Amino acid sequence: MSWLAVAEAIEALEPARLDRELVDRFARAPHNARGINFYTPTFKAYASSEISSCGKNAWPAVSITGGACKLQCDHCKAKVLEPMLPATTPEALWRVVNEQLELGAKGMLLTGGSNHRDEVEYGPFLPVVRRIKDAHPGFRIAMHTALVDASMACAMEQAGIDAAMLDVIGAQDTVSQVYHLRRPVQDFERSLENLVATSMKVVPHIVIGLHYGRMLGEWQALEMIARHRPAALVLVVVMPFYAPAGRPFATPSSREVGRFFLDARAALPELPILLGCARPAGRVKLEIDAYAVMAGLEGIAHPADGSVELALGLGREVRVTPACCSIAVGEEVLALADPAAERIDPRLVVEAERRRTSRLSRIPVVAA
C-alpha cells in the first residue's frame, strides 16, 4: 500500500490535502523508519483534544520581566509572555519556584522579554537559580537564553541550568525587520557556539515562516546548527495570530513546511528533530503533522488527530508520553532516557481519535 493510500484510509485525515509528490519523496527518504514519540497532555485531557490543560502542567513557564519586552518582534509583540508566571525580582523568583514546587512542579521554563540587543537580563537572577538547584537538585530548569556571549553562557551553566534554548535565525532581513534588531545574523550562530561549549543541553529552535509567513533564512539556520553539536532541534511554525494587523503574517503552506522537514532531516541525520506545539490550527495542522510523521521526525507535541494512527500505519515504533508542552521546555531532551517515564498505549489513542472523528459521531441526535 502506498503511503498516500495509508493516509487516505485514516478517517481523521480526511480533510487533509496531502501532496502526492512530497509524500513519495518522504517514502523514499532514508530516515523514515525511526521511532516517534508523541507528547500529549494526560490521556483524559488529550481525549478532549485541547491544549488548554497546559496551565496545570508540571513545567510552569516563569518570566523574569513579567509581560514586558523591549524588542516587540512583529510575530509576537510580547504576547507569548502574557500567560506566564511573573517573577520580576530575584526574591520573587525564589518565592514563585517554592510555590510551584509545593504544587508539584518538576521543573520550569525560565524566560523573559528581551532588551534591545535580544538579551534577557538574567544576571541578577542567576544566584537564585543556583540556590534553587542546590536546594532541589532534581528540579529541572530549561532557559530560553536569547543571545549570549561566552561569559553569560558560562554563568548560566554555573548556575545549574539544565537545558538552554535559543531561536536561531538565518536571514539578516528577518533579524532587522521582524526582530527590529541591529545585530549581525552571525550573532545567533555565535550564541549557539557559546552555549554548546558548556555542559548544558542545548536545544536550538527554528521558527518556520518567521519572515512574515515566508520561508527565508530557515535553510541558513539549519546550516548554522549543523556546524555545532546541540542535543536536539525543535521546529515550530509561526503563529500568525500573534502578529499585529499592520504587519500581517501569511500562514506558511503545509507543503513548504513539509519540504523543510525533509531538508532538516537530511541536513541533520543524527540529531533528534522534534515538532513543538506552536503551529497553526485546522487543516494545515493535520497536513503539517502528517508530513512530520512521514519525514521521520522523532517527536511531535500535541499531535493532530490521525497522526498516531498514521505513524502506526507506516510501521513506525510509536510511543506516547502524557507530557504537556514538554517540548517547549526541553523536557523531552531531559527525560528521553528516563525509563520510568509514563507511557500511553498508542492503540488507546487511536481508538479515542476514531471515536472522536467517526462519521457516526457527527450525525446529530434529534430528541423526540
- Name which of 71 and 93 has its Cβ closer to ligand SF4: 71
Dihedral of alpha carbons 294, 300, 305, 310, sign: positive
- Name which of 78 and 237 has its Cβ closer to ligand SF4: 78
Rounded to 5 degrees, what are φ and ψ at 177? -90, -50
Q: How far is CA 18 from the centre of its chain?
A: 23
C-alpha 116/C-alpha 285 separation (Å) is 33
Crossing angle between the packed helical segments 186-196 and 150-159, to the nearest 10 degrees: 40
6, amino acid identity: V
- In the complex, least distance from residue 68 CB atom to ligand SF4, rounded to whole angstroms: 9
- In the complex, least distance from residue 336 CB atom to ligand SF4, rounded to whole angstroms: 26
- In the complex, least distance from residue 69 CB atom to ligand SF4, rounded to whole angstroms: 3
Coil, helix or strand at residue 256 = helix
Rounded to 5 degrees, what are φ and ψ at 35? -70, 160
- Name which of 12 and 329 has its Cβ closer to ligand SF4: 329
- Name which of 95 and 116 has its Cβ closer to ligand SF4: 116
- Name which of 71 and 142 has its Cβ closer to ligand SF4: 71
- In the complex, least distance from residue 343 CB atom to ligand SF4, rounded to whole angstroms: 33
- Name which of 80 and 142 has its Cβ closer to ligand SF4: 80
181, amino acid identity: L
Instruction: For Cα atoms 307, 283, 4, give the angle at the middle one, nearest 5 degrees.
Output: 50
Closest CA to 284 of 254, 322, 250: 254
The binding site for ligand SF4 (CB under 6 A) comprises 69, 71-73, 76-78, 80-81, 113-114
- Name which of 149 and 345 has its Cβ closer to ligand SF4: 149
**CB contact set of 304 (below 8 Å; sequence gap of 6+):** 12, 285, 286, 288, 289, 290
- Name which of 105 and 120 has its Cβ closer to ligand SF4: 120
Burial per residue of 319-354, b for 16 or more beta-carbon CB atoms within 10 angstroms, e otherwise: bbbbbbbbbbbbbbbbbbeeeebeebebeebbebbb
- In the complex, least distance from residue 278 CB atom to ligand SF4, rounded to whole angstroms: 11
- In the complex, least distance from residue 294 CB atom to ligand SF4, rounded to whole angstroms: 30
Neighbours of 27 (CB within 10 A): 14
C-alpha 144/C-alpha 204 separation (Å) is 10
- In the complex, least distance from residue 75 CB atom to ligand SF4, rounded to whole angstroms: 7
- In the complex, least distance from residue 351 CB atom to ligand SF4, rounded to whole angstroms: 39
Closest CA to 290 of 326, 317, 261, 251: 261
- Name which of 130 and 180 has its Cβ closer to ligand SF4: 180
- In the complex, least distance from residue 175 CB atom to ligand SF4, rounded to whole angstroms: 11
- In the complex, least distance from residue 70 CB atom to ligand SF4, rounded to whole angstroms: 8
- Name which of 165 and 295 has its Cβ closer to ligand SF4: 165
DSSP 262: H
> Residue 283 to residues 18, 267, 286: CA-CA distances in angstroms?
10, 28, 5
